[in-house]
Amino acid sequence: MAYRFVLFCRHLQQTRSLSSLIINPFDVTKAIGRNQRGWRSLVKPYLISTIGIGTSATIGDFICQYFERNKQRNLFHSPSSSILPWWDKQRSLVMCVSSTFVVAPWNFTLSRFIENLFPGKQGAQIVKKMLTNTLLAPIGICLVFVSVTLLNGRSFHEAKMKIKNDLVKTFLTGTCYWPFVSFINFRFVPLDYRPFVGSLAGTIWNIYISSIANATMDKSNHTKPKSTFLDEISEKTRTELREIGNVFLENNKKDL
């Protein structure tokens, strides 16, 4: 009798273990529903971010071309019946496509990754977010350079040369601008709208990025890009600072 009772207990235990392996369809339905709601909650902020980033890139390129219009007139001597003869619509389209389909997914994913990695709005967390965002910035810059170069019909080798020549300069310029934007974004803006707010600030940044990303490569020397509009301004500024410094040194020598 005791032996039969032991066998019955073992059989009952095996039955329970097998029943635990059977998946409850109701639980599966609930899990799928939660997953669908999670994805649906991302659609709206993703669309807002994509529209904002694509628009800011297009506007930034338009402003950049406006600043470069004198150079465009020198390159194209033939008169145009267009209201804006200096505006290269193909170039703006390339910047828009690159930002919409390459930059926007990266920025949206990065913002959520950083928020999950360092949640909260405490000072230490904000510093960690800003530092992580800065350290990962070269990836976004490389994505812009590669996508714009390839969309313009150039080779991947030219894209690598663009990264080699302009990545460090662009990154250092960005570190003078984006940390302030990141602080405001991480401190005051909700997660879903951070890429959009960043895209508004990106309009100013895209003026510079468009100038760098669309700088044509000298066919006779692929290692040296032609100077852009903003590079010319920087060179003039450096020249003026050197002249001021030389005058200051000469005056000091006279005083001595």
Question: Of 82, 86, 61, 89, which is closest to residue 73 (Cα–Cα)?
Answer: 86
Helix (H, G, I), strand (E, B), or coil: what is residue 225?
A: strand
User: What integer pLDDT is reported at residue 42 of this predicted model?
Assistant: 82
Lowest model confidence (mean pLDDT) among 60-64, 83-87, 114-118, 233-237: 233-237
pLDDT band at 155 (very low <50, low <70, confident <90, very high): very high
Question: Of 162, 140, 165, 175, which is closest to residue 57 (Cα–Cα)?
Answer: 140
- Alpha-carbon torsion 102, 108, 111, 115, what sign? negative
Which pTM does this prediction carry? 0.66
**pLDDT tens digits, one per residue of 48-91:** 889 988 999 999 999 999 988 876 555 544 455 568 888 999 99
Q: Which pair of structure tokens corresponds to residue 163?
A: 């990264």
User: What integer pLDDT is reported at residue 219 of this predicted model?
Assistant: 41
User: What integer pLDDT is reported at residue 145 of this predicted model?
Assistant: 95
Lowest model confidence (mean pLDDT) among 82-86, 145-149, 162-166, 226-230: 226-230
Q: Residue length, the chain?
A: 256
- Mean pLDDT within 168-196: 86
Helix (H) or strand (E) holding 86: none
DSSP letter string, 115-155 = HHHS-S-SHHHHHHHHHHHHHTHHHHHHHHHHHHHHHTT--
Lowest model confidence (mean pLDDT) among 9-23, 97-111, 146-160, 194-208: 9-23
- Mean pLDDT of the residues in the chain: 76
- Mean pLDDT within 167-178: 91
Helix (H, G, I), strand (E, B), or coil: what is residue 217?
A: strand
With a pLDDT cut of 90, the percent of the chain lying above it is: 31
**pLDDT tens digits, one per residue of 30-49:** 444 544 555 677 888 889 88
Whether the predicted pLDDT of 185 surpasses 70:
yes
Count CB neighbours of 227 within 10 A: 13
